């Protein structure tokens, strides 16, 4: 795999599609184990846009009968750093009151999005709420919003591919790339 250039910045291969699938399956097994004996199946809440590819793979791999998925949309990033402010662009159509909710995020960086999201969803009175994220940058976390299910813990470097973008670009790359310093 070669270097890719997006918006004038160089990115090198970081996590291969094979490694991604391996960790998606591992996280899916953890979720299945934790929810398979529940009376009501969980509702996955996919946080658009970045999480849609991970959510599609995870949801299928968990494969719990009668589980549901719904979508919410936020915007917090501009360029390669968090703006620290999040804007809700699209709300939740489904009712999650009394349900076990699994929030699906692509990446937890500062945790500002995770915190705001949990507050918004908590107001709808779910029975429980956990977060599954493909990637987690523990050194960047400023909010104490530690995700319950994590694919990869990574250092605080900017990455893209497999749904993650730079100003809307590079989401379709099957592997994950990291910015070359």
Catalytic positions are 109
Residue whose CB is less far from Mg ion, 50 or 126: 50
What is the Cβ-side half-sphere exposure of residue 76, based on CA atoms within 13 angstroms? Answer: 22
Does residue 159 interact with ligand IMP by CB under 6 A? Answer: yes
The distance of closest approach from Cβ of residue 13 to Mg ion in the complex, given in angstroms and rounded to an integer, is: 22
Under a CB-based contact definition with an 8 Å cutoff, are residues 172 and 162 in contact? no
Contact residue for ligand IMP among 28, 112, 132, 173 (CB under 6 A):
112
In the complex with Mg ion, which residue's Cβ is closer, 50 or 111?
50
Sheet holding 68-78, edge to edge: 81-90, 68-78, 43-48, 100-108, 128-136, 149-153
Q: Should residue 177 be labelled a site residue for ligand IMP when binding is judged by CB under 6 A? A: no
Contacts with ligand IMP, 73-92, as mask; x by CB under 6 A:
---xx----x----------
Q: Which two tokens stand for residue 10?
A: 């160089």
- Contact (Cβ atoms closer than 8 angstroms) between residue 174 and residue 162: yes
Give residues in contact with ligand IMP (CB under 6 A): 50, 76-77, 82, 105-114, 158-160, 164
């Amino acid at each position: 795999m070669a270097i890719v250039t997006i918006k004038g910045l160089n990115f090198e291969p970081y996590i291969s599609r094979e490694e991604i699938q391996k960790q998606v399956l591992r996280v899916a097994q953890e979720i299945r184990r934790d929810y398979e004996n529940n009376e009501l199946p969980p509702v996955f809440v996919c946080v658009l846009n970045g999480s849609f590819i991970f959510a599609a793979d995870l949801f299928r791999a968990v494969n719990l009968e009668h589980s549901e998925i719904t979508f919410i949309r936020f915007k917090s990033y501009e360029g390669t750093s968090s703006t620290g402010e999040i804007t809700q662009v699209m709300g939740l159509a489904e009712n999650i009151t009394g349900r076990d909710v699994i929030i699906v995020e692509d990446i937890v960086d500062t945790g500002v999005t995770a915190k705001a999201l949990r507050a918004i969803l908590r107001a709808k009175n779910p029975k429980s709420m956990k977060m599954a994220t493909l990637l987690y940058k523990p050194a960047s976390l400023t909010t104490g919003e530690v995700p319950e299910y994590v694919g990869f813990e990574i250092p605080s470097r900017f990455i893209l591919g497999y749904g993650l973008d730079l100003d809307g670009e590079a989401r379709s790359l099957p592997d994950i790339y990291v910015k070359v310093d």
